[in-house]
Structure 1
Amino acid sequence: MTLRRRLVLSIVALVVAVSAVIGAGSIVALFSIQRSAIDQQLQYATSRAQKSLQDQGPNGPSLEIGRPSGQAAGTLTVYFLDGTAAVGSVLDNAGDIDRLTGSSVRPLGGVAIDGAAHTVDLGHDLGRYRVTAAPVGPAVLVVGLPMAPVYESVWKLFGWVLVVTALALLAATGVAAVVVRRSLRPLERVAETASSVARMPLERSDALDGVRVPDADPRTEVGRVGTAFNRMLGHIAGAMQARERSEQKVRQFVADASHELRTPLASVRGYAELTRRMGADLPQDVVYAMSRIESESKRMTSMVEDLLLLARLDEGREVQFADVDLTGLVLDAVNDAHAASPDHPIEVDVPDVPVEVQGDAARLHQVVVNLVTNARTHTPDGTRITVGLAPSPNGVDLTVRDTGQGIDPEFLPKLFERFARADSSRSRTAGSTGLGLAIVDAVVQAHGGSVEVASVPGDTVFTVHLPTSRPAAAAGAGAAGAVAATA
């Protein structure tokens, strides 16, 4: 149940409870007041009846006992002599005297002579009466007044209480719904802002620019929540900016270091190669050492080139968009892989018509080469590799599938991280820097695409989705570069 519904129901329940208490109190108060008035009238009626009996003299009471001077309609008068009703009558609304039957008089014989009023039920014809008993000589006089007007007033008030409570319930429901909705509107805005922030890919600090809760009045509870939320967003944005600055410094350092290392590495490689070619005048172990230096310098040069490429891709450079025949590019990469690794059967599954995309041919060729090399490097000889192309919604899917032993599921989430290697999951026959798949991911993202992997023992598939059109960000960057170059 939502907070709004709980609040509305709570307010309605409170209104119903208050209405019920007020209504019950009003009914009890009305009944008590009217009964007190009946008791007071009963005292006056008893006094008048006693005076009337005394005025009749020694002959005893007659039917006129029911019509004394000034008695109200409905007044009941019974004269008991030796415990037996000598005369009993009721004065009706027309002023006539109605004789009481024995069944109606019988309950009055047990009324206590204490001067207090008592309620007695005289049956369906007469109903409840408020009666009092008083001695008159050797006899007992019982005088009563009907309670029907009191009960009628009480029932009318009860009906009105129900009507007023129902109207109050409807009014309270409407007012509570409006008030609660208006009161919770700031909280809903805070929740909407929190939801929008939760949906944001918080990879850059500028994603939080302009995201603020407008309800930040510290004088209200919701305002304090909004203020705290805005402060938290500010802290998060600051932390992300600090992280971006740190990452930028690391990227710049990697780019600078990679660029500066290229020259000394080329010198080391050149001198090692030169020394090795002069091996006729050198000991065999020195020739071997020079060959190892040359081999390791080549590997280190390749690593530096990869690091420099990643740094440039991070900066949005190194991608030149043009029309690329992806089919021919895949066939060339597969032919190169056949020559480099004849022990791995490689199959090609491409459409009969050329598949073209907007991209950088050299970088996309590197993507295919890296994926095929990854499959060859981390699977045993004889593993079948299949490279395929297939149209997909809004783009093209490039797949590289192998039948190796698969990738450890725990390693899959970090497979495309830099320097990530899962040596325990796939057998290695050659060294690896752990940068190949990171370059694949960076190049594909620079083209506005995505790369995914699914792996089970015996079936590992890398799927690269590339859009056929040029991504908007790249198009904007290319246009800005062209303007800058023209200027």
Structure 2
Amino acid sequence: MRQLLPSSLTARLIVTVVTLVAVTSLLVAGVVTAVMSNYLTDRLDEKLVQSMARAQHAPARAAMGPQGRRPVPGRGQDVGLITVVPDYPGSIVSEDGEAPTISTAARDLLADVTPDGEPRDIDLPAYGSYRVLAAKGPDGSICIVGLPRSSVDNTIGNLIWWEVLLALGATAAAAVAGRVLVRRQLRPLREVAATAHEVIAMPLSSGEVGQTVRVPAELTDAGTEVGQVGGALNQLLGHVEEALDARHESEQQVRQFLADASHELRTPLSTIKGYAELGRRTGRDDPDQILAKVESEAGRMSTLVEDMLLLARLDSGREIDRRPVDLTRLVVEAVDDARVVDPERSWTFDVPDEPVTVTGDEQRLHQAVTNLLTNASRHTPPRTTVDVRLRADDQVRIDVHDDGPGIDPALVPTIFDRFVRGDSSRTRSSGGAGLGMSLVRAIMQAHGGAAAVESRPGDTTFTLTLPVH
């Protein structure tokens, strides 16, 4: 069945409209024909009843016809009327008003009609289809009258022909009008499809996509089916743009990450290679200095690789260890460690009296706090005060504040990006590879929290937030 239907929606709608009009026309024609046939048949039956009354109550004539039979006049009767009364062989009214005798075959068929007073149809040889009525008179004699159905059949036949012609005309008009109206109504849908084809033609597989085309606003009315399709397509295009932009940004980050990682790893590898070559060429008897330098660079490279591996694991969404962590103790221990490592700065903390507990990875949370303290130690001058505050209300908040020179405003938006250094002029021996702040943000995001910074000269605050569990 599907193979017989056209493939396009326009053609299917036109076929549907034409089919509905044709079926409706046939139903109306059938009902009208049935009603008209019943009406004309009822009128014919009324004439039969009237003819029966005249045949049964006709006054006796003084003069009898040949062989003692009573003649039945035909003048004033309907043409084709057949009358069969007692003592008369049956007559049929002709067009000239005469009433010749009917054939023996017709008279025999009429004699078999049951005299129950109900009209019925019968075919009479040489006379055609008749509507006949047989009934008993007051004296018990049987009278039979019949009228031809030709007037009814001719009228119904003409009616059917007119109905067929009108139905064909209505179907043809519906086909033409349906084509025009359907194409006009589906024009917005074609415009939506054109927008989709325009998007398909765009180079979405490479590079940054930017803003794609959109379905016009007048075609996004949610009150119409086409508007719903247009609105849904615009939403889909928005999601596709966001996904493609995110993919492009991720690809750029991966490329930048690989370039930065290669650059960071090249330096310790070059140093190790250089010292190894120096030791091989000079043949020095005291290799301790060379081995110490090689060990130092290998350790720094190992730390860099571990940090990149941790970032990769956090980016992949790998589940972290989740256990109750006492942040109060964690902050106090981290500040005490910072005092021992860097006594040139003033380290203070402010924590609640009651333990603040969250669910998470204690080692990673300790690493995040330690990275912030290390960052303050590296980028502030001696005698700077670093204050760590822990608060817990609707969320857990850790603030690391210092009164140092602050962060360059141009660096603040990218401070948590990878391989970003606060002082690009300093040597690598004085600091890390620029992964500390990106690790802080990744650890917070893995715990469902966030990392932020506000900085101006003399007032810099890094803030870590964690949800309360």
Is 2:77 the counterpart of 1:47? no
DSSP-derived class of the 1:115 partner: coil
Aligned to 1:37: 43
Alpha-carbon deviation of 1:187?
3.0
Aligned to 2:21: 15
Alpha-carbon deviation of 1:258?
4.3
Amino acid of the structure 1 residue aligned with 2:220: A
Aligned to 1:100: 102
Is 2:180 the counterpart of 1:170? no
- 1 or 2, which has the higher helix percentage? 1
Aligned to 1:65: 72
Aligned to 1:273: 277
Aligned to 1:216: 220
CA offsets per residue over residues 419-458 of structure 1, 9 Å max, x none?
xxxxxxxxxxxxxxxxxxxxxxxxxxxxxxxxxxxxxxxx
Alpha-carbon deviation of 1:227?
0.8
The answer to whether the 8 A contact 2:221-2:227 is kept is yes
Residues matched between the structures, number: 288
Distance 1:208 1:47 in 2: 97
How has the CA–CA distance of structure 1 residues 146 and 136 changed in structure 2, closer, same or farther, with 3 Å as cutoff?
farther
The answer to whether the 8 A contact 1:113-1:135 is kept is no
How has the CA–CA distance of structure 1 residues 92 and 136 changed in structure 2, closer, same or farther, with 3 Å as cutoff?
farther
How has the CA–CA distance of structure 1 residues 62 and 72 changed in structure 2, closer, same or farther, with 3 Å as cutoff?
farther
The answer to whether the 8 A contact 1:133-1:143 is kept is no
Question: Unaligned stretches of 5+ in structure 2?
Answer: 1-5, 302-469
Matches within 5 A, 1:151-190: 151-190=153-192
Distance 1:114 1:225 in 2: 70
Alpha-carbon deviation of 1:105?
1.3
Distance 1:30 1:57 in 2: 44
How has the CA–CA distance of structure 1 residues 138 and 257 changed in structure 2, closer, same or farther, with 3 Å as cutoff?
closer
Distance 1:245 1:109 in 2: 104
How has the CA–CA distance of structure 1 residues 207 and 244 changed in structure 2, closer, same or farther, with 3 Å as cutoff?
closer
Question: Unaligned stretches of 5+ in structure 1?
Answer: 301-487
CA offsets per residue over residues 115-167 of structure 1, 9 Å max, x none?
22222211233432333334263633222211110011111111112212221
Alpha-carbon deviation of 1:218?
0.7
Aligned to 1:125: 127
The answer to whether the 8 A contact 1:63-1:87 is kept is no
Aligned to 1:56: 61
Aligned to 2:33: 27
Matches within 5 A, 1:42-441: 42-52=48-58, 54-57=59-62, 59=64, 64-67=71-74, 70-81=76-87, 86-135=88-137, 137=139, 139-203=141-205, 207=209, 209-214=211-216, 215-259=219-263, 265-279=269-283, 281=285
DSSP-derived class of the 1:119 partner: strand
The answer to whether the 8 A contact 2:55-2:85 is kept is no
Distance 2:168 2:210 in 1: 50
| TM-score, length-scaled by structure 1 | 0.52
The answer to whether the 8 A contact 2:209-2:244 is kept is no
Distance 2:18 2:210 in 1: 41
Distance 2:173 2:207 in 1: 49
Distance 1:123 1:129 in 2: 14
| TM-score, length-scaled by structure 2 | 0.54
The answer to whether the 8 A contact 2:77-2:97 is kept is no
Aligned to 2:322: none
DSSP-derived class of the 2:127 partner: coil
DSSP-derived class of the 2:135 partner: strand
The answer to whether the 8 A contact 1:133-1:141 is kept is yes
How has the CA–CA distance of structure 1 residues 212 and 172 changed in structure 2, closer, same or farther, with 3 Å as cutoff?
same
How has the CA–CA distance of structure 1 residues 131 and 67 changed in structure 2, closer, same or farther, with 3 Å as cutoff?
same
The answer to whether the 8 A contact 2:64-2:71 is kept is no
The answer to whether the 8 A contact 1:42-1:132 is kept is no
Distance 2:117 2:282 in 1: 144
Distance 2:186 2:13 in 1: 10
Alpha-carbon deviation of 1:33?
0.4
Amino acid of the structure 1 residue aligned with 2:279: T
Root mean square deviation of aligned Cα? 3.5
CA offsets per residue over residues 234-281 of structure 1, 9 Å max, x none?
012112222323333343344445456655555544443333221164
The answer to whether the 8 A contact 1:131-1:145 is kept is no
